[in-house]
Amino acid sequence: MSIAYINIGSNMGNRTALIEQAVAHIELLCQSVATRAPFIESEPWGFDSPHSFLNLGIAIESHLKPLELLQELLKIEKSICAASHRDENGNYVDRMIDIDLIAIDDIVIDTPQLQLPHPRMHLRDFVLTPMAHLNPSWIHPILNQSIVQLQKQLYEKTY
């Protein structure tokens, strides 16, 4: 069994209910109960919108291989809302649900289908803050830095 770190976000509709629906599907898929970080609000990342995101980070045991897990998470995402996360120009848009596979243990994968850890996790406080709650001792296997170090660097760049 591996520990998968997953972020779930929503900035449209009943955000809490949509996120809870996603967690229920993920727990059923993994046959495990997720450990949860507190919900956090964040501004949209990579696009402008008046709608803030509600985000939840979870850690869950999974028996699935990384690519299988990603494919199943995408199916869950589509079952909740089939709308695209991008417009016709490729820009991010508002969404009812967004499920991102952030990391699995300390596995490194770099393929066209899957990159682990998530290639932009260190740029997103709404990913780092939940990870700090879920596993503060986790070390990014490529950047060789702790979550606390990554948060500090992000904070220094932002302010």
17-57 pLDDT, tens digit per residue, is 999 999 999 999 999 999 999 999 999 988 888 999 999 99
Measured CA to CA, the distance from residue 23 to residue 95 in angstroms comes to 17
The answer to whether 104 and 116 are in contact (CB under 8 A) is: yes
Digit-coded pLDDT (tens) for 100-156: 999 999 999 999 999 999 999 999 999 999 999 999 999 999 999 999 999 999 888
State the SS3 of 56-99: EEEEEEECCCHHHHHHHHHHHHHHHCCCCCECCCCCECCCCCEE
Bridge partners of 86, per DSSP, are 92
| Domains of the chain, start order | 2-119 (3.30.70.560)
